[in-house]
Amino acid sequence: MDYNLSEELLMIRDLARQVADERIRPVSAHHDVTGEFPWDIMKTLAEMDFFRVYIDEEFGGLGLGAMGLVLATEELSKACGGIALGFAATALGTMPLLYHGNQAQKEKYLPDLASGKMLAGFGLTEPDAGSDAGRMKTSARKEGNEYVLNGVKHFITNGSVAKFYTIIAQTNPSKGARGASAFIVEEGAPGFSYGKKEDKMGIRASATSELVFEDCRIPAENLIGREGMGFPIAMRTLDRSRPGVAAQALGIAQGAFDHAVAYSRQRVQFDQPISSFQGISFKLADMATKIEAARGLIYNCARMIDAGVKDISMESAMCKLYAGDVAMEVTTDAVQVFGGYGYSKEYPVEKYMRDAKITQIYEGTAEIQRSVIGKAVIKKAAAEARAK
Ligand code: COS
């Protein structure tokens, strides 16, 4: 399908495809087995300017916005959803600064984030505050010209490999979600350490770690926006980062699908390639259709973000929900096409199935996306009824 992409966007897409094929595919199984973080690939991505894609030109970026981000994430994820995540999660950690930081904060950090010198992470989730993110307990107390942070963030992607974190913490706990604030915390801040590293089912090349704050002191100027703005900043960030997760899901689905098509053409049973059986070709047809539908939703949402549309919660949740479900369905079907071989770790598709599962869970579960979409649908219907 032709999405009318600009020359620059096509260039980024093709470059990402090349890196994925030449550099990521050969090492993805190794990182899946060992769980080692792919530092050499991050270095390559940095050298090839990938971390500049979504950052404004003023701060050393390429200014290719959400569309550049989703295209690069999709292509890298075709080869390995886990390795691509080091890149995509840096975008998530950078977004609060990109959209809500002041000029001085942007000048200080964005050039190093754009060059890939610093990876980033986003700290919202806590052991007792997952879907109910407003229940976070991590606190930030103002003392003179510093904030003192206490608490634990967990399941943090890029935790322990990033140097730059945006952390959402309570500055006024009595106000619940409305008392939270957003902060920049650098690796090495006094009182900041890494806790448990997760041993995960999939996306094993990515680092997922606890962030521990014990009287962690950061300069007061590291507050993003104003006190009390933390929750809306986090929600707006997720609205803009969810298409990135959706693109990861899309890449995983496309990667598994490509393997399934190739295998179905060369696997002979009953004297014919299995692709000639309707049972298989209809499955491939459904997989291809769902993948293309997901791509349409994602690119549409990315275009809305780049056009500056303010309220994109519904479209963002829709593409994340749909692409996550498609990734799970398509990768499961890809294993089915491979039959017994699909269940074996000697073949690549079982990894895609394990990698796909997280896309229905993180950055808001499929259930939370449905709840966001449901609220938006009802709000729109109520507004239309009022206007009559
Ligand atoms: N953009 C801007 N502001 C938003 C917003 C959005 N998308 N969504 C909510 N807010 C604001 C609301 O307007 C409200 O502000 P006011 O008090 O000024 O009106 C405030 O945030 C609280 O909103 P709400 O009452 O809807 O919050 P809830 O506690 O009901 O939570 C959900 C809403 C469930 C949508 C939210 O907690 C969520 O997204 N949870 C999933 C978290 C998640 O994705 N975690 C993944 C980890 S990060 S990788």
What would the two tokens of residue 217 be? 């002191």
| Cβ atoms of residues 251 and 74 within 8 Å | yes
Active site residue 47: no
Query: CA–CA separation, 174 vs 304, rounded Å?
Result: 36
| Average pLDDT value over all residues in the chain | 97
Task: Give the number of the atom of ligand 1 that is nearest the alpha carbon of residue 124.
Answer: 48
What would the two tokens of residue 358 be? 């997280």
Query: CA–CA separation, 54 vs 25, rounded Å?
Result: 24
Around Cβ 63, how many Cβ atoms within 10 Å? Answer: 15
Domains, the chain, ordered by start: 7-118 (1.10.540.10), 121-229 (2.40.110.10), 231-380 (1.20.140.10)
Gap from CA of 167 to ligand 1 centroid (Å): 16
Residue matched to tokens 């993003």: 224
Query: CA–CA separation, 319 vs 298, rounded Å?
Result: 5
pLDDT at residue 1 greater than cutoff 90: no
**What pLDDT is attached to residue 35?**
97
Residue among 329, 261, 260 nearest 291 (CA): 329
Q: Are strands 164-170 and 223-224 parallel, antiparallel or unpaired?
A: unpaired
Query: CA–CA separation, 69 vs 246, rounded Å?
Result: 11
Residue with CA nearest ligand 1 atom 7:
235
Most ligand 1 atoms within 8 A of CB, residue of 136, 231, 236, 316 to mutate: 231
Residue matched to tokens 């890149």: 87
Residue with CA nearest ligand 1 atom 14:
232
The predicted-structure confidence for 20-63, as pLDDT tens digits, reads as follows 999 999 999 999 999 999 999 999 999 999 999 999 999 999 99
Query: CA–CA separation, 287 vs 280, rounded Å?
Result: 11
Task: Give the HSE-up count for residue 70: Cα atoms under 13 Å, Cβ half-sphere.
Answer: 31
Ligand 1 pocket, residues with Cβ under 6 angstroms: 122, 124-125, 131, 133-134, 177-178, 231-232, 235-236, 238-239, 313, 362-364, 368, 372
Q: What percent of the chain has pLDDT over 70?
A: 100
| Residue 224 three-state SS | strand
Q: Which of 47, 210, 363, 384 is catalytic?
A: 363
Sequence-ordered alpha helix ranges (H) in 201-277 = 230-266
Around Cβ 163, how many Cβ atoms within 10 Å? Answer: 16
Query: 0.95 cut: is pTM over it?
Result: yes
The predicted-structure confidence for 91-144, as pLDDT tens digits, reads as follows 999 999 999 999 999 999 999 999 999 999 999 999 999 999 999 999 999 999
**What pLDDT is attached to residue 227?**
98
What would the two tokens of residue 114 be? 């754009």
Task: Give the number of the atom of ligand 1 that is nearest the alpha carbon of residue 125.
Answer: 47
pLDDT at residue 252 greater than cutoff 90: yes
Residue 62 to residues 54, 56, 71, 73, 321: CA-CA distances in angstroms? 7, 6, 14, 16, 29
